[in-house]
Structure formats: C-alpha cells, structure tokens
Amino acid sequence: MPDRRKRECKKAGCHVLTDSADGYCDKHKKEKWSAGDERRKNARERGYNAQWEKYRKEFLITHPLCEDCLSKKILRAATVVDHIVAHKGDEHLFWDESNHQALCKQCHDMKTMQEVCAAAGRIIPGYVRGLPKRRYLKPSVPVYVVAGAPGSGKSLYIKQRIKTGELLIDLDKIIGQLSGQNPYSINRVPYLVAAYWLRDRLINALHDNKEKYTACWISGMFAWPDDRRKLHDELGAKVYVISTDWISCRLNIKNNNDYKGHEEHYMKLVEKWFLNFKSCPFDNFVTVKGRGV
C-alpha cells in the first residue's frame, strides 16, 4: 500500500505535516482526546459545585445585566457567569475574577458555539473574517482605521501619531493581554472569540464614551474591501492603508524578534494579504518612516 500523502494538521493554526488517518499531528491528537474527556465530565466534575454556585449568585448581584447586550444598548438580565477565556480545567483561570463576565443565556450560548467552531477551524457564527455581522453603534469621537499586511508598519505608524487620551484597539494586543504571552508566538485560537468580543465591546463603548477618549485608532490587516467599508460606513472612520511593499514586509518580519520561530506563517499571511487586497475610493495610502513594525 502506498504511503498516505502528508497534509497540514487539521488543528487551526498548526502547520505541522502529518499522514495520520484523522488528520491531526501527534500533539493535537492528544489534545483532541483530552478535550473529549473534558466534555464527558459532568458540571460538578468540571468545577461547577456548591462553592461556584454561591460565587455565581454573589457575582450576579453586583453584575445584574448582560455585559454584551449592554454594550449594544440592550437591557437584559444576566443569568450566567461566563469565563471570558475558556478555563479548560485550569483552576487559576476558573476562579480569576478578571476572567469572568455576566451574560444572558442567549449571549452565553452564542459565545460557546463560536468557541467550539473556532477550535474546530470552522467559520465562527456571527462573524465574517473576524468582524461582526451586527452593525456597530455610531461612535461619538473620531475613529482612524490603520490597515496593512503583517510587517507593514501599522504599529509604528500609530505610535508616531497617537496622542494622550486617544484609545488604541489592536486585536494582537488584546490577545496578548488575555494570554499573558507574545501574541505572535502562540496558538491564537483559544483566545480568538474572547478577543473579538472585547474588541467589539470597546468599539461600541465609544457611542457613550464614558471614558472620555478624544479619538480612537483601530489597527488590523483588513485586506478585504468589505471589511474596511464596514468600518468606514458604520464608524465614520478615516481609513489609512500602509503602502509598504511585500518584500519589505517579509524583511521586517524576518528581522523582528516578536515573530521568531513563526516567520514562515506570517510571511504566508503577507502573500495572502496582497492577493486579497483591493483598494476602495475612501482609502488613504500612507508610508511609514522609521524603524519597527
């Protein structure tokens, strides 16, 4: 019998080649089985015991409204204490109050479904390429969107222009805060849904702007025209596109220690960005001067 052709592991974000029948590399084959064991446990075995029930009631007394609904100007009672980043048996994550949020059952069920789909590498319900299908609330401050390929210099461009009192919303930084690690050197999938929710909550919070920000900068790849159009139309954003060429992007990635060990993955993202990018009439093309990406 001829050898089975090797292919990339089915685990989202893993690029290890494997010829196993189920499509998973050795590392993620074990994760797949352990995840199944975790799902087979009942609620009490997963830590949701009397101690948790007492904590849940106390938390909901001080957080009575669904936080996600509230960010969309909807008043709905919270009934669930959700773990922002799924704990997966980690006791510290389970009890860390900063990892808890109050949600209604509808929002909690949707988030759980999105996490399951993200872990399986499938399309995340409610999102198109990471942006929500639902409309954003209109912000009360100016919004600037900076789009570009990995290594194009988005962070440097913003750093040179952002002022005190202005908010920066960067998905990479949110994932770094959630994970406590370098966001470019980890499997981002476990943090993706939580990062989307937190980013969208920050954007919608600009409607009331209780934090009194004077402006907001949003950084991302946003190669597809529809992505930039959504941000331009719904947020009234001014859109800047970094015009760094693909060779320079690749060199920047190669010379940046943040990408060390994952250069090939991000170089593929650079090629993908240039394949998908199409300009829009509202795009403002800019260049970056200085060192850093």
Task: Give the residue, 49 or 190, on which the prediction is more confident.
Answer: 190
| Residue of 90 and 45 predicted with greater confidence | 90
Average pLDDT, the chain: 89
User: From the centroid of its chain, how far is CA 262?
Assistant: 18
Cross-strand pairs, 146: 219, 240
Tokens of 221: 């790849």
Q: How far apart are CA 191 and CA 271, in angstroms?
A: 24
pLDDT at 292: 57
Tell which wins on pLDDT, 45 or 200. 200
What's the gap between Cα 117 and its chain centre? 14
Q: Residue 170, SS3?
A: strand
Average pLDDT over residues 10-15: 69
For residues 231-260, give the mean pLDDT. 96
CATH 3.40.50.620, domain 128-286, yes or no: no
* pLDDT of res. 40: 45
| Domain locations along the chain | 7-40, 52-113+120-125, 128-286
Percent of the chain with pLDDT over 70: 88
More confident residue, 163 or 5: 163
pLDDT value, residue 46: 56
249 close to 270: Cβ distance less than 8 angstroms: yes
Q: Quote the Cα angle for 177-147-277, to 5°.
A: 130
Which pLDDT belongs to residue 293? 60
The mean pLDDT of 16-29, rounded to a whole number, is 73
Residue 37 pLDDT: 46
If DSSP codes are grouped into helix, strand and coil, which group holds residue 195? helix
- Can you tell me the mean pLDDT for 164-169? 98
Q: pLDDT at position 29, please? A: 61
Q: Tens digits of per-residue pLDDT, 29-65?
A: 656 544 444 444 545 555 578 899 999 999 999 999 9
